[in-house]
């Protein structure tokens, strides 16, 4: 009698739910692969699609590097998964990435996850296509021309110098990553968006917190409901937009009085007016937010990596000091650097390149397949998302000997040609290459001039563990003691 009762109970409570789960997973796998193009003889890339509807998004968000490393070890340089609500193929390796980056408008089109498009806006440079992308890119490139960069240099050096002096004055250690984010935020607010120093001082804490909340939730499930990541990201974005709108209205009033600010956003506004296509207030706010993200988050990541690598390689610091001394003898004034002087710092540029090779701040980019095509023996179905990996492409390339070591001098003689171009892609490639890359290089060179000339430092925790979310950062915030160098 007891057995007759236990058996149905066991079947209902254990066996049936397991069977239903297995059936659900199988149906999900079939549903997820519905986009397979049966007219193409090539198989889908290897991989797995994860849990129903959630796919493998939660594993990526929670595990990041560990999850991606496991996938690469198991499946190689091309594999399928399901992320942010869509079937996705992840790609790495120079030859594979070359096909993706040079296939814009022919094989693929840019398409960031829905959460990114929702938060940053659908009309940003990273989301628009065709003629709209070409005209908007042309306008933004004017804001990062050599002439424009020359105007930004004194402001950048002023902010960097003030930050370095503050770090030197502290008896306690400096948490480098948060400090770099604040420094790069102030620079971006002044140089890119035209905020005055007093405006930044009174609003900095609120703006930084809101911006970090927005960035934290850029890559989230596309569910807009209270307490969701997308909801929090949009709330923070709206606050940032309100402050930017206040500043834009003030800028427009100043322009009517004859004032002509030289910041990047103002140049973008002027350019749009000259072209006969003035931007709406919403478009300007979205452009400003995108400039702020691109000009602050990524440079803070690389600046932190520079401090880390130089703290671990004192011989590189010595060689930088030698270069600075030689250039000073040739007439470069380290107290008032210029574009011309910065361009002569070849080894300094190599240090930045090597940092970007080992720790590219942005791990990759997003595309969508416009049609089914073949990639390295596999089919990429029309409509599937594609993520190309920058960091993994740097890691799997064989053109850099001893690639795990920090050796800036490799870039002094490393040949640059079409055959090696896609082995090193810290700024992406093709039509979508980062428009602010020259701005980033100038900013980072100025940072190195100020840091290396005036300080020496010790990493209090040694080499940190690095994570990605969405840019690369040290989990311990890189506690560092800065001391005066005389």
Angle at 444 between CA 438 and CA 450, to 5 degrees: 140
**Per-residue model confidence as pLDDT tens digits over 128-146:** 777 777 877 877 888 888 9
Q: What is the mean pLDDT of the chain?
A: 86
pLDDT for residue 3: 52
CATH, range 36-484: 1.10.630.10
Q: How confident is the model at residue 340 (pLDDT cuts 50, 70, 90)?
A: very high
Which neighbouring-strand residues pair with 482? 457
Rounded Cα distance between 108 and 469, Å, is 25
User: Would you state the pLDDT for residue 272?
Assistant: 72
Q: Residue 32: its pLDDT value, please? A: 54
Check residue 252 and give its pLDDT.
73
- How much is the average pLDDT of 271-277? 72
Strand-pairing partners, residue 279, are: none
Say if residue 445's pLDDT is above 80.
yes
User: What would you measure as the largest C-alpha separation in the chain, in angstroms?
Assistant: 99
- DSSP assignment of 256-274, as one string? HTT----SHHHHHHHHHHH
Burial 436-466 (b: 16+ CB within 10 A, else e): bbbbbbbbbbbbbbbbbbbbbbebeeeebeb
Domain-by-domain residue ranges, the chain? Answer: 36-484
Q: What does the DSSP assignment read for 77-94?
A: SEEEEEETTEEEEEE-SH
Confidence of residue 226 (pLDDT cuts 50, 70, 90): confident
Per-residue model confidence as pLDDT tens digits over 283-326: 888 888 888 877 788 999 999 999 999 999 999 999 999 999 99
Task: Point out the annotated binding site.
Answer: 434
Confidence bin at 452 (pLDDT 50/70/90):
very high
CB atoms within 10 A of CB 425: 26
Look at residues 295, 265, 292 and name the one whose alpha carbon lies nearest to residue 281.
Answer: 265
Q: For residue range 109-124, list pLDDT tens digits in order.
A: 988 888 888 888 887 8
| Binding site residue list for heme | 434
**78 has which bridge partners?**
91
The per-residue pLDDT for 373 is: 95
Residue 232 has a pLDDT of: 94
Banded pLDDT at 205 (limits 50, 70, 90): confident
Q: State which H helix or E strand residue 369 sits in.
A: strand 364-369
163 vs 104, which has greater pLDDT? 163
Q: What angle do CA 209, 212, 216 make, to 5 degrees?
A: 140
For residue 388, the SS3 value is strand
Q: For the residues 425-454, what does the mean pLDDT come to?
A: 92
Predicted confidence (pLDDT) per residue in 47-72, tens digit: 999 888 788 988 887 888 888 889 99
């Amino acid at each position: 009698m007891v057995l007759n009762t236990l058996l149905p109970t066991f079947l209902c409570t254990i066996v049936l739910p397991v069977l239903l789960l297995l059936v659900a997973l199988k149906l999900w796998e079939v549903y997820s692969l519905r986009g397979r193009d049966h007219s193409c003889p090539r198989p889908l890339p290897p991989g797995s699609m994860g849990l129903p509807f959630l796919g493998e998004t939660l594993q990526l968000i929670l595990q990041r590097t560990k999850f991606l490393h496991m996938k690469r070890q198991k499946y190689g340089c091309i594999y399928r998964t399901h992320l942010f609500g869509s079937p996705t193929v992840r790609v790495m390796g120079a030859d594979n990435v070359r096909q993706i980056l040079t296939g814009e408008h022919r094989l693929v089109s840019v398409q960031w996850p829905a959460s990114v498009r929702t938060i940053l806006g659908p009309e940003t440079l990273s989301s628009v296509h065709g003629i709209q992308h070409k005209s908007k890119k042309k306008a933004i490139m004017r804001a990062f021309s050599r002439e424009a960069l020359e105007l930004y240099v004194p402001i950048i050096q002023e902010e960097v110098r003030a930050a370095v002096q503050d770090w030197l004055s502290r008896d306690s250690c400096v948490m480098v990553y948060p400090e770099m984010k604040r420094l790069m935020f102030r620079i971006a607010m002044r140089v890119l968006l035209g905020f005055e120093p007093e405006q930044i001082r009174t609003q900095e804490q609120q703006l930084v917190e809101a911006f970090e909340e927005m960035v934290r939730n850029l890559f989230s499930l596309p569910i807009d409901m209270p307490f969701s990541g997308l909801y929090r990201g949009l709330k923070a974005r709206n606050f940032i937009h309100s402050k930017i709108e206040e500043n834009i209205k003030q800028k427009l009033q100043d322009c009517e009085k004859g004032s002509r600010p030289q910041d990047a956003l103002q140049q973008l506004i002027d350019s749009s007016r000259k072209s006969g296509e003035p931007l709406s207030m919403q478009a300007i706010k979205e452009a400003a937010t995108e400039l702020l993200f691109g000009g602050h988050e990524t440079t803070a990541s690389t600046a932190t990596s520079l401090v880390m690598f130089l703290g671990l390689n004192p011989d590189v610091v010595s060689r930088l000091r030698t270069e600075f001394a030689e250039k000073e003898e040739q007439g470069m004034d380290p107290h008032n650097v210029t574009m011309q002087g910065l361009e002569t710092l070849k080894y300094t540029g190599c240090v930045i390149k090597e940092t970007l090779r080992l720790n590219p701040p942005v791990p990759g980019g997003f595309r969508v397949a416009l049609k089914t095509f073949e990639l390295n023996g596999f089919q990429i179905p029309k409509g599937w998302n594609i993520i190309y990996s920058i960091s993994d492409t740097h890691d799997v390339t064989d053109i850099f000997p001893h690639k795990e070591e920090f050796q800036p001098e490799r870039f002094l003689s490393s040949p640059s040609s079409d055959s090696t171009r896609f082995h090193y892609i810290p700024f992406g490639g093709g039509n979508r290459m980062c428009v602010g890359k020259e701005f980033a290089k100038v900013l980072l060179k100025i940072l190195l001039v100020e840091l290396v000339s005036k300080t020496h430092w010790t990493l209090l925790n040694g080499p940190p563990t690095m994570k990605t979310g969405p840019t690369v950062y040290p989990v311990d915030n890189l506690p560092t003691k800065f001391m005066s160098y005389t």
